[in-house]
């Protein structure tokens, strides 16, 4: 079995790692080794020895949905502040050191995680680990840092969200979708709360979540798992775990029993469209079948040029310039299944929405085109071959999935779970998820009285 | 698509990277000439059963015929919309059924075809790719559909402050040269394009006299030769003439384009330096210090880290085939953009007058040399690098020698090139938004 090696390594923990099988027997998962440090930090190694480059990432199971009430944006704000001083590094010295070693570093924050990474020549891995381990517990920023960096994140919000009607629309859609869960609050934060973020807010988040037992180390590239293990024990293994790490419980969604609708108007809108999101289950540890069916539903329904929505709305009826369906299952809590239609000129949003709904209804009648499903499954199998050419992407996939509680085994089972999905599974998933009572329908358009298009 | 992760820096700052190779990295490039006379650079990489193929046709959208702006862009968008005996939908089904990926990209200087396909169905994938390049159908239905997609994009561009700034700057910088207009065309020019224009555009771009080929993956030279002849043999020998050099007309100053948005976007620039100039690497290192170096650059330090005026600011050398410029971009709230512009002007003048410090030079050289292997992360990126080398006329062993050229740059070189290249009086800012305390001005 392809997943045997990683499973063994997982059991072996602090003893020796299993030996790689001969090349001829290698399958996809043989690139991946995983283990856990004594303090609870999880480690994943993805090997590719073709070029002397390494990517070093640390993922924290702490994202915007874990923020305290009233402090939206603090997870992302803290991410910025982690590039300031520590007890031993000066302001900016972290990134300067990476650059002086020919590397690149950055970080990103999402609802469920915050991650930091460097890409650098493979022989610099130890230096990266030493610095990343340092800022896990030793940040030391000033009030001046806080004031300046708060301006930076406000400019970031200006650039990403307030300058972009589509982003503002999406923000309103999410806020309407979640009645009680923090996924309804934007990752970057609401401006009025961002403006109040201070040092205590940032440190409070840091001192709750930035510990090895809440982190995942993912190293990919030209590395040897035994060496990674030794280095990880040296630098991360000595950091005490947080015995008081809070259980990851967010306020859950109640049953959603009323369809929501909204119209966002903005003079900067160049192209009006209709978007709909439905509340949808996510991938759960040991139970990924519903999410797999939804993943394939999104592909069959609106994943590409031969998908059902595209065929009907773009090619046959010629009512859409673009149509699509989207689902992302690697989240901690309930996610969304989204459909969108961008109408051709002259078609109103009302007509576009009606066309979209008629097409969804006819899909439920017609069922899955089995040939199309086979093409998609073949592409998924091929994607595992292509993925071997980019281990950094594989590493990101592991980091994101493990941040939401999925196990290495879940991740390695995922391709097989996808392949096992039947047309019946997909139609069951469609009937389950396309529930208007748990949906938000949004129109993005220009102000009333102005001509759209 | 719905949820975006926040990152600390814009992607644009990564894109601007230009770097070199470490002593350790081994990229064994061999030149393959097909029986039919088509040359390719090949790196054999048999460990994963697929190959990446990069084709580039010099000229790209700059070969648009007069009055037909946007024709080559639209033609490029139609290549995968039906070819040979396959209409658009049949083509898409076949492509998906092969699990291959074909990308067709257009720019000012080249049309690029980037393909990846599995070893197990290589012949079928090559045949499908051949159809799209040699026998595109340009069906009227597909033409209308893709035209509407292009027009949708153009309408969006007209509402996008960064795109407005870019278009304004280009028009001021290059005037009537193709670089002076946007290669996607205008609403009017694209609306007027016909199927005959698509055929003309196809003939203008696709020819052997402007073709460059890079291949990385699971294929031998003996297999590659016939593949190239099958795929590209039917191309004509010659296409449309390349445009001549573009005269850079922009003068120093500020141009404000009013647009209702909370944050102003500025594109700024001046004349630059050609890639084959002996001082190009000195300029490259200089710009690393000035504005290309991520958080360590002077612009990021002064505008973002010290003052919090922006989320991102960068500068980049743009050595195109027919004009070389040094440009940058920044975005700040309307009441803060004037200060950001002022700080950037000051940094421009300081670098022009003083050059850089030894410590800055050392750090920049370490970065530019050490970051080289980071570019070689996968078959397709390596294929793209090899095609880029060929277009610049670089020798096949260039990778191994490139770092020496960077290492050879001295403090005196950078000081000299800083004084020659950086032109604070000639630096022009195009600002789109409702900026406070900024007015139109032009240097004499």
Residue A186: pLDDT band with limits 50, 70, 90: very high
Helix (H) or strand (E) holding B269: strand B263-271
Residue B295: pLDDT band with limits 50, 70, 90: confident
* 214-253 in chain A: CB under 8 A from chain B: none
Residue A317: the pLDDT is: 96
Which of A48, A50, A153, A279 should one mutate to test binding to chain B, selecting the residue with the greatest count of B CBs within 10 A? A50
Residues of A in contact with B301 (CB under 8 A): 92
Q: Cβ separation of A306 and B376 shorter than 8 Å? A: no
Each residue's pLDDT tens digit, B155-198: 999 999 999 999 999 999 999 999 999 999 999 999 999 999 99
Residues of A in contact with B311 (CB under 8 A): 152-153, 155-156, 158-160
- 3-class DSSP assignment, residue A306: coil
Has residue A22 got a pLDDT over 60?
no
Has residue B24 got a pLDDT over 80?
no
Which of A385, A399, A419, A446 should one mutate to test binding to chain B, selecting the residue with the greatest count of B CBs within 10 A? A385
Residue B63: pLDDT band with limits 50, 70, 90: very high
pLDDT above 70: percentage of residues in chain B? 94
Has residue B13 got a pLDDT over 50?
no
Chain B residue nearest residue A104, CA to CA: B371
Chain A residue nearest residue B20, CA to CA: A102
Has residue B5 got a pLDDT over 50?
no
Q: Cβ separation of B148 and A376 shorter than 8 Å? A: no
Each residue's pLDDT tens digit, B389-428: 999 999 999 998 888 999 999 999 999 999 999 999 999 9
Could you count the other beta carbons within 10 Å of the beta carbon of residue B133? 22
Indicate the length of chain B as a whole number. 444
End-to-end alpha carbon distance in chain B: 48
Has residue A165 got a pLDDT over 70?
yes
Q: Could you tell me which residues come within 8 angstroms of residue B121 by beta carbon, excluding any fewer than 6 positions away?
A: B98, B99, B100
Domain with CATH 3.30.830.10 in chain B: 2-232, 253-442
d(CA B428, CA B372): 32
Has residue B6 got a pLDDT over 50?
no
Each residue's pLDDT tens digit, A76-113: 999 999 999 999 999 999 999 999 888 999 999 999 99
Q: Cβ separation of A150 and B308 shorter than 8 Å? A: yes
Q: Cβ separation of A318 and B145 shorter than 8 Å? A: yes
Catalytic residue among A36, A47, A67, A79: A79
Q: Cβ separation of B378 and A390 shorter than 8 Å? A: yes
Has residue A20 got a pLDDT over 60?
no
Burial of B318 (0-12, 13-18, 19+ CB in 10 A): middle
Token pair in block for residue A143 = 């009030």
pTM of structure: 0.90
Residue B8: the pLDDT is: 40
Residue A116: the pLDDT is: 98
| Distance between B149 CA and the closest CA of chain A, angstroms | 6
Residue B293: pLDDT band with limits 50, 70, 90: confident
Residue B377: the pLDDT is: 87
Query: Which of A1-15, A333-347, B59-73 bottoms out in mean pLDDT, i.e. has the lowest?
Result: A1-15
Q: Could you tell me which residues come within 8 angstroms of residue B443 by beta carbon, excluding any fewer than 6 positions away?
A: B251, B252, B253, B425, B426
Residue A354: pLDDT band with limits 50, 70, 90: very high
Residue B296: the pLDDT is: 87
In this structure, CATH architecture of domain B253-442 = 2-Layer Sandwich (3.30)
A109 touches chain B (CB under 8 A): yes
Superfamily per CATH, domain B2-232: Metalloenzyme, LuxS/M16 peptidase-like (3.30.830.10)
Residue B123: pLDDT band with limits 50, 70, 90: very high
Burial of B229 (0-12, 13-18, 19+ CB in 10 A): middle
Known catalytic membership, residue A79: yes
Each residue's pLDDT tens digit, A207-221: 999 999 999 999 999
Indicate the pairing of strand B428-433 with strand B263-271.
antiparallel
Has residue A28 got a pLDDT over 70?
no
Residue B40: the pLDDT is: 98
Round the average pLDDT of chain A to a whole number and report it: 91
Each residue's pLDDT tens digit, B311-354: 999 999 999 999 999 999 999 999 999 999 999 999 999 999 99
Has residue B444 got a pLDDT over 80?
no
Which carries the bigger pLDDT value, residue A23 or residue B86? B86
Chain A residue nearest residue B87, CA to CA: A315
Residue B7: the pLDDT is: 41
Q: Cβ separation of B262 and A328 shorter than 8 Å? A: no
* 30-69 in chain B: CB under 8 A from chain A: 45, 47-50
B120 touches chain A (CB under 8 A): no
Q: Could you tell me which residues come within 8 angstroms of residue A288 by beta carbon, excluding any fewer than 6 positions away?
A: A329, A410, A413, A414, A417
* 75-104 in chain A: CB under 8 A from chain B: 76, 79-80, 83, 91-92, 95-96, 99-104
Has residue B360 got a pLDDT over 50?
yes
A450 touches chain B (CB under 8 A): no
Has residue B51 got a pLDDT over 50?
yes
d(CA A157, CA A437): 32
Chain B residue nearest residue A375, CA to CA: B97
Which one of A109, A163, A277 has the shortest CB-CB distance to B5?
Answer: A109
d(CA B34, CA B229): 7
Each residue's pLDDT tens digit, A252-262: 999 999 999 99
Residue B25: the pLDDT is: 52
* 341-400 in chain A: CB under 8 A from chain B: 342, 344-345, 375-376, 378-379, 381-383, 385-386, 388-390, 392
Has residue A5 got a pLDDT over 50?
no
Q: What is the mean pLDDT of residues B253-276?
A: 96
Query: Which of A298-302, A391-395, A418-422 bottoms out in mean pLDDT, i.e. has the lowest?
Result: A391-395
Residue B260: the pLDDT is: 94
pLDDT above 90: percentage of residues in chain B? 88
ipTM score for this prediction: 0.88
Has residue A275 got a pLDDT over 70?
yes
Q: Cβ separation of A389 and B24 shorter than 8 Å? A: no
The closest of A338, A37, A387, A436 to A212, measured between CA atoms, is A37
Residue A29: the pLDDT is: 61
Which residues share a beta bridge with A106? A117
Has residue A25 got a pLDDT over 80?
no
Which one of B5, B157, B312 has the shortest CB-CB distance to A108?
Answer: B5
Round the average pLDDT of chain B to a whole number and report it: 92
Q: Cβ separation of A92 and B305 shorter than 8 Å? A: yes
Chain A residue nearest residue B5, CA to CA: A110
Each residue's pLDDT tens digit, A280-339: 999 999 999 999 999 999 999 999 889 999 999 999 999 999 999 999 999 999 999 999
| Distance between A207 CA and the closest CA of chain B, angstroms | 21
B28 touches chain A (CB under 8 A): no
Which of B2, B45, B102, B367 should one mutate to test binding to chain A, selecting the residue with the greatest count of A CBs within 10 A? B2
Q: Could you tell me which residues come within 8 angstroms of residue A79 by beta carbon, excluding any fewer than 6 positions away?
A: A107, A108, A109, A114, A116, B6, B8
Q: Could you tell me which residues come within 8 angstroms of residue A383 by beta carbon, excluding any fewer than 6 positions away?
A: B99
| Distance between A40 CA and the closest CA of chain B, angstroms | 26
pLDDT above 90: percentage of residues in chain A? 89
């Amino acid at each position: 079995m392809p997943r045997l090696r990683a499973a063994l390594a997982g059991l072996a923990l602090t003893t020796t790692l299993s030996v790689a099988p001969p090349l001829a027997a290698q399958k996809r998962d043989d690139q991946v080794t995983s283990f856990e440090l004594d303090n609870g930090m999880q480690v994943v190694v993805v090997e590719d020895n073709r070029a002397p480059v390494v990517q070093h990432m640390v993922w924290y199971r702490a994202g915007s949905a874990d923020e305290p009430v009233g402090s939206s944006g603090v997870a992302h704000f803290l991410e910025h502040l982690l590039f300031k001083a520590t007890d031993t590094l000066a302001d900016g010295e972290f990134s300067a050191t990476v650059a002086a070693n020919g590397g690149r570093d950055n970080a990103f924050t999402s609802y469920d995680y915050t991650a930091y990474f460097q890409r650098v020549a493979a022989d610099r891995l130890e230096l990266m680990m030493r610095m990343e381990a340092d800022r896990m517990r030793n940040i030391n920023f000033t009030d001046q840092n806080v004031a300046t960096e708060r301006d930076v994140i406000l400019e970031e919000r200006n650039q990403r969200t307030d300058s972009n009607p589509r982003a503002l629309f999406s923000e309103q859609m999410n806020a309407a979708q979640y009645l009680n869960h923090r996924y309804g609050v934007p990752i970057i934060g609401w401006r009025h709360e961002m403006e109040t973020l201070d040092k205590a807010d940032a440190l409070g988040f840091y001192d709750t979540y930035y510990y090895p037992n809440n982190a995942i180390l993912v190293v990919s590239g030209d590395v040897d798992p035994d060496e990674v293990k030794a280095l990880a024990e040296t630098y991360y293994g000595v950091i005490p775990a947080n015995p008081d790490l809070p259980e990851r419980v967010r306020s859950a969604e109640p049953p959603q029993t009323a369809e929501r609708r909204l119209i966002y108007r903005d003079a900067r809108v160049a192209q009006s469209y209709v978007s709909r999101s439905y509340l949808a289950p996510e991938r759960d540890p040991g139970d990924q079948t519903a999410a797999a069916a939804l993943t394939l539903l999104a592909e069959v329904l609106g994943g590409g040029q031969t998908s059902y929505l595209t065929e009907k709305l773009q090619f046959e009826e010629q009512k859409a310039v673009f149509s699509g369906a989207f689902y992302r299952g690697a989240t901690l809590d309930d996610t969304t299944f989204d459909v969108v239609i961008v109408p051709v000129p002259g078609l109103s949003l009302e007509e576009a929405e009606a066309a979209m709904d008629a097409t969804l209804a006819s899909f439920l009648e017609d069922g899955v085109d089995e040939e199309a499903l086979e093409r998609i499954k073949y592409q998924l199998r091929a994607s595992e071959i292509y993925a071997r050419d980019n281990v950094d992407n594989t590493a990101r996939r592991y980091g994101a999935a493990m941040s939401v509680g999925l196990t290495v085994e879940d991740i390695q089972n995922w391709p097989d779970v996808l392949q096992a999905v039947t047309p019946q599974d997909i139609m069951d998933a469609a009937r389950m998820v396309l529930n208007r009572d748990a949906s938000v329908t949004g129109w993005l358009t220009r102000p009333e009285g102005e001509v759209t298009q | 698509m719905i949820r975006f992760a926040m990152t600390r820096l814009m992607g644009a700052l990564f894109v601007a990277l230009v770097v070199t190779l470490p002593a350790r990295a081994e990229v064994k490039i061999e030149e393959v000439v097909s029986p039919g006379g088509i040359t390719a650079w090949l790196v054999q990489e048999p460990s994963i059963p697929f190959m990446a193929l990069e084709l580039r046709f010099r000229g790209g959208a700059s070969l648009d015929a007069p009055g037909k702006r946007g024709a080559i862009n639209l033609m490029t968008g139609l290549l995968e919309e039906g070819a040979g005996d396959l209409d658009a939908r049949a083509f898409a089904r076949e492509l998906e059924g092969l699990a291959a990926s074909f990308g067709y990209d257009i720019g000012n200087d080249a049309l690029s075809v980037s393909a990846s396909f599995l070893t197990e169905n290589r012949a079928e994938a090559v045949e499908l790719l051949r159809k799209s390049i040699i026998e595109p159908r340009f069906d009227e239905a597909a033409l209308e559909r893709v035209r509407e997609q292009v027009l949708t994009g153009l309408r969006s561009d007209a509402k996008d402050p960064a795109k407005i700034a870019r278009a304004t700057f280009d028009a001021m910088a290059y005037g009537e040269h193709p670089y002076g207009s946007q290669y996607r065309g205008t609403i009017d020019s694209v609306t007027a394009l016909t199927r005959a224009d698509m055929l003309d555009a196809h003939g203008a771009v696709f020819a052997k006299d402007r073709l460059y080929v890079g291949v990385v993956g699971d294929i031998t030279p003996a297999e590659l030769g016939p593949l190239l002849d099958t795929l590209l043999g039917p191309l004509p020998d010659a296409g449309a003439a390349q445009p001549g050099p573009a005269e850079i007309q922009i003068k120093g100053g500020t141009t404000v384009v009013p647009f209702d948005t909370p944050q102003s976007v500025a594109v700024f620039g001046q004349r630059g330096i050609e890639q084959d100039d002996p001082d190009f690497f000195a300029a490259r290192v200089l710009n690393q210090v000035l504005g290309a170096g991520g958080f360590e650059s002077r612009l990021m330090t002064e505008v973002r880290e010290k003052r919090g005026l922006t989320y991102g600011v960068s500068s980049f050398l743009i050595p195109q085939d027919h004009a070389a410029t040094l440009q940058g971009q920044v975005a700040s709230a309307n009441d803060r953009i004037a200060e950001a512009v002022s700080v950037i002007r000051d940094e421009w003048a300081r670098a022009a007058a003083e050059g850089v410090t030894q410590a800055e030079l050392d750090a920049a050289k370490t970065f530019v040399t050490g970051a080289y292997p980071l570019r070689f992360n996968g078959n397709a990126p390596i294929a793209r690098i090899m095609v880029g080398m060929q277009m610049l006329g670089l020798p096949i062993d260039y990778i191994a020698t490139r770092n020496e050229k960077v290492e050879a740059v001295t403090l005196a070189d950078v000081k000299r090139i800083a004084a020659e290249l950086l032109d604070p009086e000639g630096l022009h800012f195009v600002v789109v938004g409702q900026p406070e305390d900024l007015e139109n001005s032009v240097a004499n």
